[in-house]
Structure 1
């Protein structure tokens, strides 16, 4: 099962559209995970139309219309891998321990908010992934998103993709 992970798209505030390589990845994926801060409902509609399956949450920059359509936390079982998606996880200090305590029944936690790519494992095996932002790199050298693969209930690969500068 092929996954695309993205967050903090901030359309149209940070960019007018998502980068073409991300759209190509979304259209090829089995499941797309978006960890919030869409900003514009039109992006949710387009991503829903262009993906096979979309799992998303709202972020702190998402208004009432997006909050009415999306949960704060989404959970799913993908081929036996228990996942959760949330926008904010708090400060980076002690993030792994805090998230392991908050999500004890999860194998993979996808989060956003910081715009900083993240890939760590908490005590007990919880994997934490933040794909960064494809439109607002902030202090990062590149705008980014992630892809991952699941086979038989296991996360078998994770790749961070750097997007060309605009």
Structure 2
């Protein structure tokens, strides 16, 4: 049975946005598992996602303190449909990222990360797939806000899709 996945990071609520866009909440409702790769900033966002998501996997980011660091790990590991996922907020500079992360996460098939607000989808020579969904609320230097969706099925990660967030009312 396939597992529908939503990947989020860097929501920065309420610093960058007052709330998650309706489009993101709809994606949460359709996902079997929601990953959030840190920089929540607001405990209320964690509470809301815990209540609404069927399953939530989260880590804390560099802008998260207090209760967020108490409730969330720095690194998370989960297996879905035979795929070994690891998640961390920050991976360092883009240069050398694949080799560095492959060495740091040798037992993972997919590494989900955030921090840069820049979407990323590459594969290290070892086969480790690195995914950064960007940010659904703070595009920074990107043309649009984004998140990622994917499907895990029988040991394969399928249909990885970068989704632009429609910011029109």
Please, what TM-score do these two structures have when normalized by structure 2?
A: 0.97
The Cα of 1:129 is off from its aligned counterpart by 0.3
Q: Given the alignment of the two structures, is residue 136 of structure 1 paired with residue 138 of structure 2, yes or no?
A: yes
Over the aligned positions, Cα root-mean-square deviation in angstroms equals 0.7
Instruction: Find the counterpart in structure 2 of residue 124 from structure 1.
Output: 126
Q: Distance in 1 between matches of 2:153 and 2:68?
A: 32
Q: Distance in 2 between matches of 1:138 and 1:124?
A: 31
Q: Is the 8 A contact 2:121 2:130 kept in 1?
A: yes
The Cα of 1:157 is off from its aligned counterpart by 1.6
Q: Which of these residues, 71, 75, 78, is aligned with residue 77 of structure 2? A: 75
Please, what TM-score do these two structures have when normalized by structure 1?
A: 0.99
Q: Which of these residues, 32, 35, 45, is aligned with residue 33 of structure 1? A: 35
- Partner deviation per Cα, 1:43-99 (whole Å, 9 max, x = no partner): 000000000000000000001110000000000011100000100000000000000
Instruction: Find the counterpart in structure 1 of residue 152 from structure 2.
Output: 150
Instruction: Find the counterpart in structure 2 of residue 17 from structure 1.
Output: 19
* Count of residues in Structure 1 that have an aligned counterpart in Structure 2: 166
Q: Which runs of 5+ in 1 are unaligned?
A: none
Q: Given the alignment of the two structures, is residue 45 of structure 1 paired with residue 58 of structure 2, yes or no?
A: no
Q: Which runs of 5+ in 2 are unaligned?
A: none
SS of alignment partner, residue 157 of structure 1: strand
SS of alignment partner, residue 109 of structure 1: strand
Instruction: Find the counterpart in structure 2 of residue 94 from structure 1.
Output: 96
The Cα of 1:165 is off from its aligned counterpart by 3.3
Instruction: Find the counterpart in structure 1 of residue 110 from structure 2.
Output: 108
Q: Is the 8 A contact 2:23 2:166 kept in 1?
A: no
Q: Distance in 1 between matches of 2:50 and 2:81?
A: 21
Q: Distance in 1 between matches of 2:107 and 2:45?
A: 30
